[in-house]
A and B are shown apart, each in its own frame.
Chain A
Amino acid sequence: QKEVEQNSGPLSVPEGAIASLNCTYSDRGSQSFFWYRQYSGKSPELIMSIYSNGDKEDGRFTAQLNKASQYVSLLIRDSQPSDSATYLCAVLDSNYQLIWGAGTKLIIKP
């Protein structure tokens, strides 16, 4: 069974520091990778998509993909209390099905 794994957390990071969120996946044929942010009681919001090996930066967010290691990560620089949320990793597998991780709860401490 195809899987996407994330540490459930909570991950506690001081305000202003870098938050690092990690995700591993089992299907080597996966081609597209997504990070979503979900605030408590709200629906998920797409924050980053990455399709090729390497880094992709968007503002304070950087997504990193390593297909050889089947690993994708999200870095949040200069973390703010408003970044406190659950971060969901989603992977489009070789059958074009989106497989979801269970999410990592991030807490930014002022």
Chain B
Amino acid sequence: GAVVSQHPSRVICKSGTSVKIECRSLDFQATTMFWYRQFPKQSLMLMATSNEGSKATYEQGVEKDKFLINHASLTLSTLTVTSAHPEDSSFYICSARSEPTYEQYFGPGTRLTVT
């Protein structure tokens, strides 16, 4: 149980374009999902908390107009990187929180490369 999918697994885009990443909880409903970013050899960095039916909560320093998050259903959250730049190239990982244990289950991640 507790499977989270994430698509695409890898994407290359040109500078200035937008990229949408989908995160789905396949076998449980998730009121809360999370988006993380991880640079090589560095720790996970929480970008934002996504709550179904309400606005996402962004961590300090994360531009909410650049990283658009939508959590339209109990099984789907999306992250759109708008006007991507090379410095946005990173490994983006979503997770879904299972209630009532608060365990977080991670998707396999999306490797974004902006050229």
Contact = CB atoms under 8 A, between A and B. Distances in A.
Interface of A: 32, 34, 36, 41-46, 49, 88, 90, 92, 96, 98, 100, 102-103
Given A88-B44, A102-B43, A103-B43, A46 B105 contact: yes
Contact of A100 (B2, B43, B102): B43
Interface in B84-114: 91, 93, 95, 101-109
Contacts of B104: 34, 46, 90, 98
Prevailing SS type, chain A contact patch: strand
Contact of A43 (B43, B93, B101, B102): B93
**For chain B, which range describes its interface: under 10, 10 to 19, 20 to 34, or 35 or more residues?**
10 to 19
Residue among A34, A43, A92 having the largest count of chain B Cβ atoms under 10 Å: A43
User: Which 6 pairs across A and B sit closest by C-beta, in order of nearness?
Assistant: A43-B106, A43-B109, A43-B93, A102-B43, A44-B106, A92-B102
Contact of B44 (A34, A44, A46, A96): A44
A42 B43 contact: no
B48 to A, nearest CB: 13
A102 B44 CA distance: 8
Interface of B: 2, 43-44, 46, 91, 93, 95, 101-109
B108 A43 contact: yes
Contacts of B102: 32, 92, 96, 98
A103 B102 CA distance: 20
Contacts of A92: 102
Nearest to A101: B43
Nearest to B45: A100
A45 B105 CA distance: 7
A28 to B, nearest CB: 18
A43 B103 contact: no
Nearest to A90: B104
Contacts of B106: 36, 43-46
